[in-house]
Amino acid sequence: MDKKRAVAPSMTQPREPKVAKRETADDRGASAATSAGHPAYCHSESCRGLKLSEMLHKHQQCVEEIDKLNEIIHLSNDEKLKEILRLREELKSMKSLMYDSVKEKESTLIEGKTLKEQLLKTSQIAKDMAQKLEKLEKLKQKTTTSAVEKEKKQTEEEIQVLNKKLHTVMGGNMHWQVYNTQRDHYVNTLMQQLDHLKLEVSESHEKHAGSCDEEMLEDAERTIASVKAKIDEIHREKEVLKDELMHFKELCDVKDRHIKELETQVERQSPPSSPTTAGLLRTKIQICTEDFEAERKDRERAQARIRDLEEEIELLKRQLSMFQQTAMSQMKSRREAALARYRREYEAQHPEYREQNRCLEGNTVVDRNDLEGGFDEID
């Protein structure tokens, strides 16, 4: 081990003369360049200075690494094992990082390929649409007056049909608006019922915390029963609301399909003589689609509200179960206190019972009928 440690200075010492020799050679080259009047003298001098500093820095790093290796060599076997395990862990982490970076590169390459494919598809679609538009313009120019009149009549009839369909769609939109108002009213009533239930639960807790007599226990049981009934009623109302939502969802899907059919019909017709009416129909259909999208969002909000109501119902159920548990525990403690009080009164009235207990070393021999009768009177 001492021989290995002594190797480090011998390895580091011979490098300094070499640097000195290079410096002398460079100095000679620089003096020759200056004597010859070379214009790149300053640049070559700065480059040599940078190389020299880099070499010195690398030399210093090598010396430090050699010192570290010498220290590791002189460590104990356990410390060497620890150092090996630490280096293995670092290698594993570096490998995992390299694997993650390779995965990220692959995912980016795949995304770039998909984006290129999508761009090519969109460009192709745009070209196809431009070609179709050119064909339509050529067809419009080639049509005669008689064909234009026939097409005009056909388009007017189709526009009338579309107007009728549009009126039906508007009626469905009005129906959705009425449904939205009814649904908001129903949700508000559910919120009021939940607030009322919360108030009843809090009041029952406060009453039960104050005094715990028979009347209050009966009131608590009645409130628990009423809360359970209201929870069941809310469940039933929730089921009805879910059924209505499913029904209106189906209606909305039917209306969406109908609107898409209308749009396709308008795009296929594209009458040359009445662009304004077709444009108006498109705008009306767009308005209807926006209304249906808004109604769909409202329906989603209503479903979210139903989920919130379900969570509140579960919370009320948990509160009721906790209230029942606390009521039972308080009733039990009250009965135990009453039994102890009655036992003390019984011992005060019957001193022989106390002497008997002393003789029997604390074993209680009490008349069960007397205790049960007194317990019933206390309750």
Q: Where are the domains of the chain?
A: 2-74, 93-137, 159-331
Section 212-231 average pLDDT: 69
Is the pLDDT assigned to residue 218 strictly greater than 60?
yes
pLDDT tens digits, one per residue of 343-355: 777 777 767 666 6
Q: How distant, in Å, are the alpha carbons of 43, 76, 255, 293 from that of 300?
A: 73, 69, 17, 11
Q: How confident is the model at residue 370 (pLDDT cuts 50, 70, 90)?
A: very low
pLDDT of amino acid 45: 64
- Say yes or no to pLDDT of 117 above 80: yes
Cβ atoms within 10 Å, residue 166: 19
- 317 Cβ contact list (under 8 Å, min separation 6): 231
The predicted model gives 290-317 an average pLDDT of 76
175, 194 Cβ separation under 8 angstroms: no
Tell me the per-residue pLDDT of 27-59, one tens digit each, with 9 for 90 and over. Answer: 444 444 444 444 444 556 666 777 788 888 888
| pLDDT tens for each residue of 188-211 | 777 777 777 767 766 665 655 555
Is the Cβ–Cβ distance between 292 and 173 less than 8 Å?
Answer: yes
Mean pLDDT of the chain: 69
SS3 41: helix
For residue 354, what pLDDT is reported? 64
**Confidence check: pLDDT of 123 > 60:** yes
Calculate Rg over the CA atoms of the chain. Answer: 47
What confidence score (pLDDT) does residue 11 get?
39
**Mean pLDDT (whole number) for 244-266:** 73
pTM of the model: 0.28
- Looking at the chain, the whole-number percentage of residues with pLDDT higher than 90 is 0
Q: What is the pLDDT of residue 73?
A: 76
More confident site: 207 or 313 = 313
